[in-house]
């Protein structure tokens, strides 16, 4: 693959990767646009989006909870951020009115499927996304969507994906959409992220993007294209099976008097648990688990506007070798047994 990449054209490997990625994801609308920009990490794509917001002095409503590096990137770019509670998006019948009531910024930034909760508008097919897009069009809002966990919607037989880019393009909404391979294939940080922007802002986003990065290594693109094709062939089994096995184990071993398993809309690569005892916080539980060499993330990382709410939750990573994960769950169970 190294020699092949040396001898080929950069444009060939870019187009082949983009075509394969969006074919896997069932997004022909994106593959046909020919305006997706590549970078070597989702954080780079997010930084470009934040640079755009700052350049135009735009404020943004960001979903809460969400992974904290999104907040850090926006804050480091000195973008004004306001929270929007994920719960405002749960019912497609009320999404539009909820957004009218709560979003008073220039832009709306969603993570779908969400990390850490696994919530997704995809649970209602097109319905929820259509209401979000309609709101943004009617009220002149820029829509930003982080879809880095979208592969897990494909791997989840109860959800799937429709052609979101076709909806975005046909609606006339101003948007930026971010996707990534890094959350799906653990290949030692050989990854590629994508950002696609609507025509009305594409040139401005492109200029910002090229000021940060000109291209991704053709070897990495060649390497990842083979991974994508492999996932197409096995129907995502190599990704889905490990996460499904570890999720079932975590739920069966941990759901009880101390922790309550929160059922996700999409079976993403993390599990979200609520802490039941009022006297036990996520921070304290994390400390106890570290003493037993088990690491979990407290919910305070994700409730970026109100960290106190996050003290009621912990997040577990599921994309781990099952044998190692089994040992970690047993150690975690031993700690919980002391509180039951």
Residue 315 sits at the vertex; the CA angle it makes with 243 and 286, to the nearest 5 degrees, is: 130
258-300 tens-digit pLDDT = 999 999 999 999 999 999 999 999 999 999 999 888 899 999 9
Task: Give the DSSP H or E segment for 196.
Answer: strand 193-197
Rg from Cα positions in the chain = 20
Please give the pLDDT value at position 339: 63
What domains lie within the chain, and their CATH numbers? 2-234 (3.40.640.10), 237-337 (3.90.1150.10)
Please give the pLDDT value at position 235: 83
Q: Does the pLDDT value for residue 31 go beyond 90?
A: no
Distances (CA, A) of 122 to 153, 286, 314: 8, 32, 24
Please give the pLDDT value at position 302: 97
Instruction: Report the half-sphere exposure of 236 (CA within 13 A, side-chain side).
Output: 18
53 burial level (CB within 10 Å; 0-12, 13-18, 19+): buried
Q: Does the pLDDT value for residue 52 go beyond 70?
A: yes
pLDDT confidence tier of residue 340, bands split at 50, 70 and 90: low
Please give the pLDDT value at position 183: 81
Q: Does the pLDDT value for residue 158 go beyond 90?
A: no
86-99 tens-digit pLDDT = 999 999 999 999 99
Q: Quote the CA–CA distance of 35 and 27 in Å, as a whole number.
A: 14
Residue 83 has a CB neighbour count (10 Å cut-off) of 17
In this prediction, residues 107-122 reach a mean pLDDT of 97
For residue 67, give every residue at least 6 positions away whose Cβ sits within 8 Å of its Cβ, in sequence order, or none. Answer: 111, 115, 116, 301, 302
Please give the pLDDT value at position 48: 98
Q: Quote the CA–CA distance of 261 and 272 in Å, as a whole number.
A: 6
Mean pLDDT score across all residues of the chain: 93
| Range in 55-69, 108-122, 133-147, 185-199 the model is least confident about | 185-199
Q: Does the pLDDT value for residue 5 go beyond 80?
A: no
pLDDT confidence tier of residue 13, bands split at 50, 70 and 90: confident
pLDDT confidence tier of residue 82, bands split at 50, 70 and 90: very high
182-234 tens-digit pLDDT = 888 777 778 999 999 999 999 999 999 999 998 898 898 999 999 899 888 88
- 3-state class (DSSP) for residue 64: strand
**CA torsion, ordered 160, 71, 68, 216, to nearest 10 deg:** 60
């Amino acid at each position: 693959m190294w020699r092949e990449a040396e001898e080929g054209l950069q444009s060939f490997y870019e187009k082949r990767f983009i075509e394969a990625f969006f074919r896997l994801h069932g997004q022909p609308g994106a593959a046909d646009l020919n305006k997706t920009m590549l970078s070597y990490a989702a954080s780079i794509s997010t930084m470009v989006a934040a640079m755009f917001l700052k350049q135009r002095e735009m404020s943004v409503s960001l979903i809460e909870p969400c992974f904290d590096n999104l907040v850090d990137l926006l804050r480091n770019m000195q973008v004004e951020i306001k929270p929007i509670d994920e719960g405002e998006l749960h019912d497609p019948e009320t999404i539009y009115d909820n957004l009218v009531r709560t979003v008073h910024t220039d832009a709306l930034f969603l993570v779908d499927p969400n990390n850490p909760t696994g919530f997704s508008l995809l649970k209602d097919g097109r319905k929820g996304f259509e209401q979000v897009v309609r709101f943004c069009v009617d009220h002149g809002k820029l829509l930003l969507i982080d879809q880095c966990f979208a592969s897990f919607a494909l791997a989840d037989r109860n959800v799937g994906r429709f052609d979101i880019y076709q909806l975005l393009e046909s609606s006339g909404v101003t948007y930026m959409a971010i996707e990534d391979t890094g959350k799906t294939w653990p290949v030692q940080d050989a990854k590629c992220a994508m950002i696609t922007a609507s025509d009305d802002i594409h040139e401005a986003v492109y200029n910002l993007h090229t000021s940060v990065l000109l291209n991704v290594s053709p070897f990495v693109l060649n390497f990842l294209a083979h991974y994508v094709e492999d996932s197409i062939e096995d129907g995502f089994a190599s990704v889905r099976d490990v996460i499904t096995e570890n999720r079932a184990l975590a739920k069966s071993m941990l759901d009880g008097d101390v922790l309550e398993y929160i059922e996700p809309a999409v079976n993403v690569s993390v599990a979200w648990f609520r802490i039941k005892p009022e006297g036990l916080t996520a921070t304290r539980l994390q400390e106890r688990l570290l003493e037993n060499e088990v690491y979990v993330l407290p919910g305070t990382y994700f409730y970026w506007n109100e960290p106190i709410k996050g003290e009621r939750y912990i997040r577990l990573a599921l994309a781990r070798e099952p044998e190692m994960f089994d040992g970690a769950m047993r150690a975690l169970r031993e700690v919980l047994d002391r509180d039951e």
